[in-house]
Structure formats: C-alpha cells, structure tokens
Amino acid sequence: MYISTKAEACLTVENGVLIAESKGETLRIEAWGPDALRVRATVNADFTGKDHALTEPHGAVAEIEVGETKATVRNGRISVELDLQGGWLRFQRDGVEFLREYARNFNGVNPHAKPLFIHAREYKAIMKSDNFQIKLRFDSHKGERIFGMGQYQQPEFDLKGCVLELAQRNSQISVPYQLSSLGYGFFWNNPGYGKVTFGKNLTEWEAVSAKEIDYWITVGDTPRDLVRNFTAVTGRAPAYPESALGLWQCKLRYRTQEEVLSVAREYHRRGIPLDRIIIDFYHWTKDGEWQFDPTYWPDPKAMVDELHAMGTQCLVSVWPTVERGSQYFKEMRARGFLVWTDRGQAQCMNQYYYVDATNKQAMEFVFEKCKEHYLDYGIDGFWLDEAEPEYHCGDFDIYRYHTGPATEVMSEYPLGYTRTFYENMKKLGYTEIANLARSTWAGGQKYGAVIWSGDINSNFETLRVQLCAGLNIGMAGIPWWNTDIGGFLGSDVNDPDFHELLIRWFQFATFCPVLRMHGDRGPHDIPRLSDKGGGKAHTGQPNELWSYGEEVYEILKKYLDIRLSIKDYIASLMQEASENGSPLLRAMFYEFPEDEGCWELDDQYMFGSRYLVAPVLELGARRREVYLPKGRWKNIHTGEAVEGGCRITVDAPLDIIPVFERVKG
C-alpha cells in the first residue's frame, strides 16, 4: 500500500514491511525475530536479497503507523521512528530512546541538528561498480559499555572507545555483534572488510565495499536476552559430543604414526583418559593433496583402530592450501576452485594458492579427498586450520572470491569452509561433530566448529588477553571456544617461568569450553626427518602432561581430574548453549546484570552459572583479589563458605586457581 505524505518521502507498507524512498535512497524496515528489527538501505535500484548471517526463520510481523512527520515500526518491545523530513532513525525500547542516528544535517525538524551536512547514512561510489564505500553513524551515549564483536587480541574488554577492524586474521575473529549495557544488541550484517569506531562522540560503522547497509537490532532486559535473541536468528551450536569434554592432546607436531601411538599409549598406561589426539600440519605429501605421507604414516587405519581401542578419537589438520606441484593443482585452477587476485601475483599467498571456500563445488572437491584419505580410515574429525585464510599480503582488496571481491565477502570464507565439513559429515551419518577451526563469522556456531584463538604468544600478557577475547566472542554467539594452553609461540620447555605460565594457563583452560594442549615448544633443535613430504617441517619439543617434570605433571593431572569430575555439569552447559545460545565462559554481568560492580570486572568470570573463576594472570603471583556478588559462595579447594557482596583477597599458591561455587538457597 502506497502512502502519500507531506514530507519528502514516498512510503509503501507491505506485509509488515515499511519501505521509504527519498532523494535516491530506499530504506526498508521490518520485524526480524523476537523484539528485533532489520534495517536495510541502498541507493541502487534494488536490494540484493541476501540474508547473510540472518539465516533462521524469524516469523515476526511489525506494526506500522504513519503520521504527518514520522513513521513508526514496532515489533514487541522495540520500535523505530523514521523522521519523514530528515530521514534519520530513532530507536526505542518500551517507548524510551536508546539509540538514534547521528543527524547533523540541517532539516528544520531535528532540534539537535546543525548545518554540517553530515549524514547518518553515507554512500561513496566506487567507479565502474554498483558498490559503495558505506558509513553508518549513530550518536554515542555517555556511560555506555560495549561488549561482544568477536575475538580481538587486546586487553580492552569494554570496547567503548575502541576502533576495531572488521576482518579475519590469524588470532582475530570479527563477529560484528555488539552487546550494550543500555539493553540492546546491534549486528552489522555485512561480511565484507570494514571498521567500527565506538567513539566518545559517535559510533561509526564502515564498509569498504558494499551494495547496501544492512543491520539488525534487538532489545532485552539482560545480556542473556540479547544473546538469546541474536542466536535465534543466526543459529545455535549443535549438540556437543560427550566424548570431547575431557582432554585434547596436541603439539606442533607429531611427525609419524608411531609418535602418535606412543603418546596415546603412555596416557593409557598412566590411566589418564585422553578424549582426542590431533595430527598437525605437514603430515601430507604436498599442500593440496589432503592425504597421509605413507613414508611416515604407513597404516592409518591400524593407527586409528588402536586409538579407538584406547578410547581416544583422532583428528587431522586440513589446510585450504594448494601448491603448484600438487596432483590436483592444474584441475583446481582450470575449474576456478582457487582464490585469485585482481592484480599482482596469487603466489603472494606464501608461494601457494588458497582453495576458494566460497565456491561450493571447490569445497565439495576438497571434502571428497578428505573423505577418501581420512574418514574412510576411521579418522573422527578435522582441524580446519588457516580458516581466515591467512594471507601473507594483507591488502585484502586484491583478492577475488567466487562470490565477489574479498573486500565485499571476506567473512563468507570461514563459513564456507566449516559448513562444508559439517554438512557433509552429517550426510555421512556422523552425529558427534566438533571440528577445530581458526576462524568464523556470525552464525558459524551452527556448523560444529570449535574455535580457538590462533597462533598466540607464550606469556602472561597474552594469557590475560585471551580472557577478554573468550568472554567477548561468547557474547557474539560463539560458545565453543578455546586456546592453545601455554600459548603457541615463544616458549622454552626448560624455562621455569614457562612452567608457571603453563600451569596457570591449564588451570584457566580447565574452566573453559574445551581443554586442549598445544604449542610449538622450543628450543627448536630437533632435526627434520627429511627435506620433502611429511618429513620436511620442523617439530617442537614434547608437550604432554608429563613433559615438564614431576611437579608440573602433578598439578596438571590435578586439574584434569577436576575437569573430569564436572563433566556432567559441562555437558549441561553445552546443552544450554544449544538451547538458548548462552556461552560457557560468561562475563560476571551476564549472571549478575543488576550488580554494577560486575560490569567493571575484566579479570574474573563465571563458568556457567555455578562457578566463579579468578585466574592468576601474573608471573609470581600467589594471592589475588576476587569480587564476590551477593549470595553465599564456597571455595572449592577449602570448602569454606563466604558471604558475598564484597571483595576478598585469597591465597593462590602455584597449584591453586581461586574458584568459588555458587551456593543456592
């Protein structure tokens, strides 16, 4: 239904959708999920029709009212007013404004306007293209705190005042969903390269190359509401395998079949349950052949059978890389299965090419090889490495994918990568899928991907950063998350300080979604097996629980036992993540939103609703301060009950991480 107004806007209302056309721009507003709205805008002839991460049925219809000066779109508790003269938007929760577009263009109506001619929605044409450089601006709020947005390697937990690159890199995962202390969540539904500035004076979202503005916004009383609403429209994690709740063992790198079996046998001899062991990169003949080098892996099926007999599953590393000499290179290049470049050399990518994970046929080709060379031997799953992918030239504007230039679609890459393996394994009858992956985007949680925080450094500063990263990615809808225990780069197995770091990291990881040993341990003085195939890459020092001496072993074993003692509880948290999206690693305010003190905490967290965890994050620290919200808490190590609503200082000798159990009733 077309509606005529006195303002400079032509309005159409169709099936609960408001479409406003004014001065060459088309704006589309509609209900999308519980207490949520989706807003799109373009200066092209039409919208793309792409839903990107908003994949789940939303079943919502908005109420629309049109007046002389404004139009209102309402869905449950959220509403937005469109100013028909200036074209700017004003969002409300239960009738109270919480966000408005940054309107600094004089229009005679907006009392805050000034004649600066700065528009909230800005489009800068890209020549010879129907794409634009796009900016979207909102007024900033004093005192607002912002969380979520994925995984960034920075110590800032509250993102207010931060500038974030919207791009996938090794150890950086952009999932552009912000959770605000003002009771709203905002998702930038754009998989391309960009930037967001959570400034003191304004918030500005920027896309380097896009055809339209597309965002989704919701309201709720608690952070739990906001995560639940977001995952309702982007998807939730599947059931997590009970067989993967314990210890995952890994290192850079097990070079032979016998090395893997010897490690698993030693765990079995010691009576230590080992859920999974992982075979890292360069077990293959060449990049892009996705198969064991028979020189070092003569009988993979026999290896897997023995592992299974000991109760251990086996994962193998898969890279999306193809070198020129591989047996499939010419075919894959001819069929357009490789990432190409608009200029320069594709070999910029460290002398090999990347499979184009946005090309469904290309990924089906890769999966078929992995099925033949891994799954058919009984391999249980995959470590999907380099999932960003990791370009060694960071000029993202040179790369071109099947679905468009990387600047426009780059975050589709990790989704295509993990989705292919998840969906094909399901078709083959696998019911317990949990594949490691180094990157994801919004909605990636539904593809059975266990995200880890990349190739990070081995020091306490990095451990501190991982806590912020894990908490924020959880609030962006990604519940299955972990780190390389002890960090990946820069360790020395003979250094007592590293031993302390490893212990503190393992204690933290005990109360994380996944407990996984990994790292490239120095000194790097172990000779290579050969100069080709599966023998050419270096290996780090041993990295098993017993590899660091008896004192370290006893402490690590103690915490593995604690982990195993709460497996049923962890399984219940995984089920909760599948049901409502709640992360396992939770900011204090996630469980205690009414406690102002909890919104200021960035060095402790809740593991689910039961355990308050205060990791030791400094070398040499043997005590630390802990904030206990109101209620009764029990120290899990001493059994002492403490009344909350205060800060306390607790002892934290090397074998103790302060953990308090919430006493109900």
Q: How far is CA 527 from the centre of its chain?
A: 36
Contact 304, 314 (CB under 8 A): yes
**List of residues 6+ apart from 20 with CB closer than 8 A:** 9, 10, 11, 12, 26, 27, 29, 71, 82, 84, 87
Cα dist from 152 to 397, 436, 510, 563, 577, whole Å: 22, 18, 22, 27, 22
Please report the domains of the chain, with CATH numbers, ordered by start residue. Answer: 2-234 (2.60.40.1760), 242-314+358-386+416-583 (3.20.20.80), 587-663 (2.60.40.1180)
Cα dist from 619 to 205, 497, 558, whole Å: 39, 7, 20
To which residue do tokens 């103690």 refer?
A: 558
Q: What average pLDDT does this structure show over 187-206?
A: 98
Give catalytic status of residue 455 as yes or no: yes
Q: What average pLDDT does this structure show over 577-601?
A: 98
User: What is the band of 111 on the pLDDT scale with cuts at 50, 70, 90?
Assistant: low
Backbone angles phi, psi at 2, to 5 degrees: -80, 135
CA dihedral 465, 467, 468, 472 (to 10 degrees): 140
Closest CA relative to residue 387, chosen from 362, 360, 419:
419
Q: What average pLDDT does this structure show over 489-493?
A: 97
pLDDT, tens digit (0-9, with 9 covering 90-100), for 637-665: 999 999 999 999 999 999 999 999 999 87
Q: Where are the alpha helices (DSSP H) in 516-549?
A: none
- Residue 256 above 90 pLDDT? yes
- Residue 356 above 90 pLDDT? yes
One-letter amino acid identity for 497?
D
pLDDT at 117: 77
Element (H, E) at 550: helix 550-565
pLDDT, tens digit (0-9, with 9 covering 90-100), for 536-584: 999 999 999 999 999 999 999 999 999 999 999 999 999 999 999 999 9
Give catalytic status of residue 525 as yes or no: no
Does the predicted TM-score (pTM) go above 0.85?
Answer: yes
pLDDT at 344: 76
Pairing of strands 132-139, 121-125: antiparallel
Q: Using a pLDDT cut of 90, give the percent of the chain over it.
A: 92
pLDDT, tens digit (0-9, with 9 covering 90-100), for 360-373: 999 999 999 999 99
Poorest-confidence range of 1-15, 82-96, 441-455?
1-15
pLDDT at 153: 98
- Residues 36 and 402: their CA atoms lie apart, in Å, by 32
Contact 599, 610 (CB under 8 A): no
Out of 81, 455, 591, 603, the active site residue is: 455
For the record, the structure tokens of 326 come out as 């591989």
Backbone angles phi, psi at 168, to 5 degrees: -95, 125
Contact 663, 635 (CB under 8 A): no
Out of 83, 388, 390, 544, the active site residue is: 388
pLDDT at 108: 47
- Write down how long the chain is: 665
Out of 385, 390, 544, 591, the active site residue is: 385
User: What is the band of 110 on the pLDDT scale with cuts at 50, 70, 90?
Assistant: low
Handedness of CA 547, 550, 552, 558 (dihedral sign): positive
To which residue do tokens 């390269």 refer?
A: 193
User: What is the band of 350 on the pLDDT scale with cuts at 50, 70, 90?
Assistant: low
Q: What average pLDDT does this structure show over 13-29?
A: 96
pLDDT, tens digit (0-9, with 9 covering 90-100), for 381-432: 999 999 999 998 878 999 999 999 999 999 999 999 999 999 999 999 999 9
Element (H, E) at 586: strand 585-586
Give catalytic status of residue 287 as yes or no: no
